[in-house]
Protein backbone atom coordinates (compact mmCIF):
# COMPACT_ATOMS: atom_id res chain seq x y z
CA UNK A 1 0.00 0.00 0.00
CA UNK A 2 1.38 3.40 -1.02
CA UNK A 3 1.23 6.53 1.16
CA UNK A 4 -1.68 7.79 -1.01
CA UNK A 5 -3.67 4.63 -0.07
CA UNK A 6 -3.19 3.05 -3.49
CA UNK A 7 -2.33 -0.64 -3.68
CA UNK A 8 0.01 -1.90 -6.37
CA UNK A 9 0.76 -5.56 -7.07
CA UNK A 10 3.82 -6.74 -8.95
CA UNK A 11 6.93 -8.88 -9.04
CA UNK A 12 10.62 -8.21 -8.42
CA UNK A 13 13.63 -10.24 -9.48
CA UNK A 14 17.31 -9.78 -10.30
CA UNK A 15 20.22 -7.70 -9.06
CA UNK A 16 21.92 -4.48 -10.06
CA UNK A 17 20.51 -1.14 -11.21
CA UNK A 18 16.75 -0.96 -10.60
CA UNK A 19 14.62 -1.14 -13.74
CA UNK A 20 10.87 -0.56 -13.66
CA UNK A 21 8.59 -1.99 -16.34
CA UNK A 22 5.36 0.00 -16.88
CA UNK A 23 2.60 -1.65 -18.93
CA UNK A 24 -0.02 -0.10 -21.18
CA UNK A 25 -3.70 0.65 -20.69
CA UNK A 26 -4.91 -2.87 -21.41
CA UNK A 27 -2.16 -4.82 -19.64
CA UNK A 28 -0.83 -5.55 -16.18
CA UNK A 29 2.37 -6.74 -14.50
CA UNK A 30 2.34 -9.91 -16.66
CA UNK A 31 2.70 -7.89 -19.86
CA UNK A 32 6.48 -7.99 -19.66
CA UNK A 33 6.89 -11.77 -19.71
CA UNK A 34 8.80 -11.60 -23.06
CA UNK A 35 11.35 -9.29 -21.40
CA UNK A 36 11.64 -10.84 -17.95
CA UNK A 37 14.35 -13.44 -18.40
CA UNK A 38 16.53 -11.24 -20.63
CA UNK A 39 16.46 -8.26 -18.27
CA UNK A 40 16.61 -9.95 -14.86
CA UNK A 41 20.03 -11.29 -15.84
CA UNK A 42 21.30 -7.70 -15.74
CA UNK A 43 18.98 -5.61 -13.56
CA UNK A 44 16.91 -5.49 -10.41
CA UNK A 45 13.62 -5.70 -12.33
CA UNK A 46 10.21 -4.66 -11.06
CA UNK A 47 7.00 -5.12 -13.04
CA UNK A 48 3.90 -3.76 -11.35
CA UNK A 49 0.24 -3.35 -12.22
CA UNK A 50 -0.72 0.29 -12.55
CA UNK A 51 -3.42 1.74 -10.33
CA UNK A 52 -6.56 0.23 -11.88
CA UNK A 53 -5.04 -2.89 -13.44
CA UNK A 54 -5.33 -6.54 -12.36
CA UNK A 55 -5.27 -7.57 -9.55
CA UNK A 56 -5.41 -4.17 -7.81
CA UNK A 57 -8.68 -3.18 -6.13
CA UNK A 58 -8.38 0.59 -6.18
CA UNK A 59 -11.41 2.83 -6.72
CA UNK A 60 -11.61 6.10 -8.60
CA UNK A 61 -12.38 9.00 -6.29
CA UNK A 62 -13.08 11.55 -9.04
CA UNK A 63 -13.79 11.69 -12.79
CA UNK A 64 -10.16 12.45 -13.49
CA UNK A 65 -7.27 10.12 -14.09
CA UNK A 66 -4.16 10.41 -16.23
CA UNK A 67 -0.47 9.64 -16.60
CA UNK A 68 0.20 12.47 -14.14
CA UNK A 69 -1.52 10.45 -11.39
CA UNK A 70 0.27 7.30 -12.51
CA UNK A 71 3.61 9.14 -12.24
CA UNK A 72 2.72 10.13 -8.68
CA UNK A 73 2.03 6.47 -7.87
CA UNK A 74 5.39 5.52 -9.40
CA UNK A 75 7.20 8.11 -7.30
CA UNK A 76 5.55 6.68 -4.16
CA UNK A 77 6.56 3.18 -5.28
CA UNK A 78 10.21 4.20 -5.67
CA UNK A 79 10.10 5.78 -2.21
CA UNK A 80 8.48 2.69 -0.68
CA UNK A 81 11.08 0.39 -2.23
CA UNK A 82 13.89 2.81 -1.29
CA UNK A 83 15.02 3.16 -4.90
CA UNK A 84 16.88 6.41 -5.37
CA UNK A 85 17.26 6.17 -9.14
CA UNK A 86 15.73 3.83 -11.71
CA UNK A 87 15.54 2.97 -15.39
CA UNK A 88 11.99 3.18 -16.74
CA UNK A 89 10.75 0.97 -19.59
CA UNK A 90 7.16 1.71 -20.56
CA UNK A 91 4.79 0.64 -23.31
CA UNK A 92 1.89 2.74 -24.59
CA UNK A 93 0.25 4.45 -21.57
CA UNK A 94 3.15 3.10 -19.51
CA UNK A 95 5.52 5.01 -21.80
CA UNK A 96 3.37 8.11 -21.27
CA UNK A 97 3.69 7.53 -17.51
CA UNK A 98 7.46 7.08 -17.78
CA UNK A 99 7.87 10.44 -19.53
CA UNK A 100 5.55 12.12 -17.00
CA UNK A 101 7.67 10.67 -14.19
CA UNK A 102 10.88 11.87 -15.87
CA UNK A 103 9.47 15.40 -15.91
CA UNK A 104 8.24 15.13 -12.34
CA UNK A 105 11.47 13.82 -10.81
CA UNK A 106 14.31 13.91 -13.36
CA UNK A 107 16.93 13.29 -10.68
CA UNK A 108 15.27 9.94 -9.88
CA UNK A 109 15.38 8.61 -13.45
CA UNK A 110 18.50 7.12 -15.00
CA UNK A 111 17.10 6.29 -18.48
CA UNK A 112 13.70 6.21 -20.19
CA UNK A 113 12.60 3.72 -22.84
CA UNK A 114 9.10 4.40 -24.19
CA UNK A 115 7.08 2.50 -26.80
CA UNK A 116 4.54 4.67 -28.63
CA UNK A 117 3.31 6.78 -25.71
CA UNK A 118 -0.27 7.79 -26.72
CA UNK A 119 0.18 11.51 -26.14
CA UNK A 120 -2.83 12.49 -28.25
CA UNK A 121 -2.28 16.23 -28.09
CA UNK A 122 0.91 15.76 -30.11
CA UNK A 123 -1.17 14.58 -33.06
CA UNK A 124 -2.74 18.05 -33.20
CA UNK A 125 0.62 19.72 -33.81
CA UNK A 126 0.09 19.22 -37.56
CA UNK A 127 -2.95 19.48 -39.83
CA UNK A 128 -2.52 15.89 -41.01
CA UNK A 129 -2.25 14.71 -37.43
CA UNK A 130 -5.34 16.67 -36.42
CA UNK A 131 -7.40 14.93 -39.11
CA UNK A 132 -6.08 11.51 -38.10
CA UNK A 133 -6.71 12.19 -34.41
CA UNK A 134 -10.26 13.37 -35.04
CA UNK A 135 -10.97 10.26 -37.08
CA UNK A 136 -9.59 8.07 -34.27
CA UNK A 137 -11.75 9.91 -31.76
CA UNK A 138 -14.84 9.44 -33.93
CA UNK A 139 -14.26 5.77 -34.78
CA UNK A 140 -12.68 4.49 -31.56
CA UNK A 141 -12.70 6.76 -28.51
CA UNK A 142 -16.29 7.99 -28.68
CA UNK A 143 -17.89 4.58 -29.49
CA UNK A 144 -15.84 2.93 -26.73
CA UNK A 145 -16.88 5.63 -24.27
CA UNK A 146 -20.53 5.15 -25.18
CA UNK A 147 -20.19 1.41 -24.67
CA UNK A 148 -18.57 1.90 -21.25
CA UNK A 149 -21.30 4.34 -20.20
CA UNK A 150 -24.03 1.94 -21.31
CA UNK A 151 -22.45 -0.90 -19.33
CA UNK A 152 -21.27 -2.91 -22.34
CA UNK A 153 -17.66 -3.23 -21.18
CA UNK A 154 -16.87 -6.15 -23.50
CA UNK A 155 -17.86 -4.14 -26.58
CA UNK A 156 -15.83 -1.18 -25.31
CA UNK A 157 -12.77 -3.40 -24.87
CA UNK A 158 -13.16 -4.81 -28.36
CA UNK A 159 -13.52 -1.34 -29.88
CA UNK A 160 -10.47 -0.03 -28.06
CA UNK A 161 -8.40 -3.09 -28.90
CA UNK A 162 -9.29 -2.85 -32.58
CA UNK A 163 -8.66 0.88 -32.72
CA UNK A 164 -5.31 0.71 -30.96
CA UNK A 165 -3.93 -2.45 -32.53
CA UNK A 166 -5.87 -2.66 -35.81
CA UNK A 167 -9.06 -4.46 -36.76
CA UNK A 168 -7.15 -7.58 -37.82
CA UNK A 169 -5.16 -7.75 -34.57
CA UNK A 170 -4.75 -11.20 -33.06
CA UNK A 171 -5.38 -9.79 -29.57
CA UNK A 172 -9.16 -9.41 -30.02
CA UNK A 173 -9.60 -12.99 -28.79
CA UNK A 174 -7.80 -15.71 -26.86
CA UNK A 175 -5.54 -15.28 -23.82
CA UNK A 176 -4.55 -11.74 -24.75
CA UNK A 177 -8.18 -10.64 -24.84
CA UNK A 178 -8.93 -12.45 -21.59
CA UNK A 179 -6.23 -10.38 -19.91
CA UNK A 180 -7.69 -7.21 -21.40
CA UNK A 181 -11.04 -8.11 -19.90
CA UNK A 182 -9.34 -8.50 -16.52
CA UNK A 183 -8.15 -4.91 -16.96
CA UNK A 184 -11.45 -3.34 -17.95
CA UNK A 185 -11.36 -0.95 -15.01
CA UNK A 186 -8.04 0.48 -16.17
CA UNK A 187 -9.39 1.00 -19.68
CA UNK A 188 -12.55 2.58 -18.35
CA UNK A 189 -10.80 5.03 -16.03
CA UNK A 190 -8.71 6.37 -18.88
CA UNK A 191 -11.58 6.39 -21.38
CA UNK A 192 -13.93 8.28 -19.04
CA UNK A 193 -11.34 10.67 -17.59
CA UNK A 194 -11.84 14.41 -17.91
CA UNK A 195 -8.35 14.65 -19.44
CA UNK A 196 -6.91 11.24 -20.24
CA UNK A 197 -4.08 12.64 -22.38
CA UNK A 198 -2.64 15.71 -20.59
CA UNK A 199 -0.05 17.70 -22.49
CA UNK A 200 3.58 17.11 -21.58
CA UNK A 201 5.10 20.28 -22.96
CA UNK A 202 7.61 19.80 -25.80
CA UNK A 203 10.07 22.32 -24.38
CA UNK A 204 10.18 20.42 -21.10
CA UNK A 205 10.56 17.04 -22.77
CA UNK A 206 13.37 18.29 -25.01
CA UNK A 207 15.22 19.52 -21.90
CA UNK A 208 15.17 16.17 -20.07
CA UNK A 209 18.76 15.31 -19.09
CA UNK A 210 18.67 11.50 -19.13
CA UNK A 211 19.16 9.17 -22.14
CA UNK A 212 15.82 8.44 -23.82
CA UNK A 213 14.95 5.76 -26.37
CA UNK A 214 11.65 5.85 -28.26
CA UNK A 215 10.18 2.87 -30.14
CA UNK A 216 7.44 2.61 -32.74
CA UNK A 217 6.28 -0.21 -35.01
CA UNK A 218 6.35 0.41 -38.75
CA UNK A 219 2.95 -1.33 -39.00
CA UNK A 220 1.35 0.78 -36.28
CA UNK A 221 -1.97 2.55 -36.69
CA UNK A 222 -1.93 6.06 -38.26
CA UNK A 223 -2.78 7.82 -35.01
CA UNK A 224 0.21 6.24 -33.24
CA UNK A 225 2.49 7.05 -36.17
CA UNK A 226 1.64 10.74 -36.28
CA UNK A 227 1.95 11.09 -32.50
CA UNK A 228 5.31 9.34 -32.60
CA UNK A 229 6.61 11.44 -35.49
CA UNK A 230 5.65 14.68 -33.73
CA UNK A 231 7.07 13.47 -30.43
CA UNK A 232 10.39 12.55 -32.06
CA UNK A 233 10.50 16.00 -33.70
CA UNK A 234 9.97 17.58 -30.27
CA UNK A 235 12.71 15.45 -28.67
CA UNK A 236 15.74 15.66 -31.01
CA UNK A 237 18.08 14.26 -28.35
CA UNK A 238 16.11 11.02 -28.00
CA UNK A 239 17.11 7.90 -29.93
CA UNK A 240 14.17 6.89 -32.16
CA UNK A 241 13.80 3.30 -33.41
CA UNK A 242 11.13 2.22 -35.89
CA UNK A 243 10.69 -1.54 -35.85
CA UNK A 244 9.77 -3.64 -38.88
CA UNK A 245 7.00 -6.25 -38.64
CA UNK A 246 5.54 -4.64 -35.52
CA UNK A 247 2.55 -2.52 -34.64
CA UNK A 248 1.72 -0.85 -31.32
CA UNK A 249 2.96 -3.81 -29.24
CA UNK A 250 6.64 -3.68 -30.21
CA UNK A 251 7.93 -5.37 -27.06
CA UNK A 252 5.55 -8.28 -27.60
CA UNK A 253 5.57 -8.52 -31.39
CA UNK A 254 9.34 -8.21 -31.84
CA UNK A 255 10.51 -9.16 -28.37
CA UNK A 256 13.99 -10.41 -29.30
CA UNK A 257 14.85 -7.29 -31.30
CA UNK A 258 13.42 -5.04 -28.60
CA UNK A 259 15.25 -6.80 -25.78
CA UNK A 260 18.62 -6.72 -27.52
CA UNK A 261 18.17 -3.11 -28.65
CA UNK A 262 17.32 -1.86 -25.17
CA UNK A 263 20.04 -3.89 -23.45
CA UNK A 264 22.60 -2.52 -25.90
CA UNK A 265 21.33 1.02 -25.28
CA UNK A 266 21.73 0.40 -21.55
CA UNK A 267 25.33 -0.69 -22.04
CA UNK A 268 24.88 -4.43 -21.67
CA UNK A 269 26.64 -6.91 -23.91
CA UNK A 270 24.30 -9.10 -25.92
CA UNK A 271 24.95 -12.02 -28.22
CA UNK A 272 23.92 -10.24 -31.43
CA UNK A 273 24.94 -6.76 -32.55
CA UNK A 274 21.93 -4.52 -33.14
CA UNK A 275 21.82 -2.14 -36.11
CA UNK A 276 19.26 0.62 -35.57
DSSP states of 174-222: HHHHHHHHHTHHHHHHHHT-S-SS----HHHHHT--S-EEEEEETT--H
User: For residue 250, what pLDDT is reported?
Assistant: 98
In a domain, residue 72? The reply is yes
Domain count, the chain: 1
pLDDT above 80: residue 210: yes
Of 57 and 43, more confident: 43
In a domain, residue 236? The reply is yes
In a domain, residue 161? The reply is no
In a domain, residue 105? The reply is yes
Q: Three-class SS of residue 12? A: strand
Domain range holding 60?
10-125+199-265
> Smallest Cα–Cα separation from 203: which of 235, 230, 228?
235
Backbone angles phi, psi at 215, to 5 degrees: -115, 145
- At residue 98 the predicted structure's pLDDT band, cuts being 50, 70 and 90, is very high
Decide: 237 and 212 in contact? Cβ < 8 Å.
yes
Of 163 and 252, more confident: 252
User: For residue 162, what pLDDT is reported?
Assistant: 87
Quote the CA–CA distance of 161 and 180 in Å, as a whole number.
Answer: 9
In a domain, residue 97? The reply is yes
User: For residue 138, what pLDDT is reported?
Assistant: 96
**Burial of 211: CB neighbours in 10 Å, binned 0-12, 13-18, 19+:** middle
pLDDT above 60: residue 109: yes
In a domain, residue 176? The reply is no
User: For residue 68, what pLDDT is reported?
Assistant: 95
pLDDT above 80: residue 17: yes
Q: Is the omega angle on the peptide bond into residue 55 within 30 degrees of 0, that is, cis?
A: yes
In a domain, residue 18? The reply is yes
User: For residue 174, what pLDDT is reported?
Assistant: 65
User: For residue 273, what pLDDT is reported?
Assistant: 46
- How does DSSP assign 21-86, residue by residue? EE--TT--GGGGHHHHHHHHTTSEEEEE--TTSTT-----SSS---HHHHHHHHHHHHHHTT-SSE
User: For residue 147, what pLDDT is reported?
Assistant: 92
pLDDT above 90: residue 111: yes
Pairing of strands 109-115, 86-91: parallel
pLDDT in tens, 144-157: 989 988 989 889 88
CATH of the domain at 116: 3.40.50.1820
pLDDT in tens, 222-249: 999 999 999 999 999 999 999 999 999 9
User: For residue 237, what pLDDT is reported?
Assistant: 96
Amino acid sequence: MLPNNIELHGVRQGKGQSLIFIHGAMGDWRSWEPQWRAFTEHFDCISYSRRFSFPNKNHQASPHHSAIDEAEDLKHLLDLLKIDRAILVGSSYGGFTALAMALKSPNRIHTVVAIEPPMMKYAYFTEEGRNIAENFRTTTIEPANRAFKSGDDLLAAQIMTGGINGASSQVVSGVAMERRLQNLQAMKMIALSTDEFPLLRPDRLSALPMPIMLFSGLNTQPVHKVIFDNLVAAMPNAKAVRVANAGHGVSREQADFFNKSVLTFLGKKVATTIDT
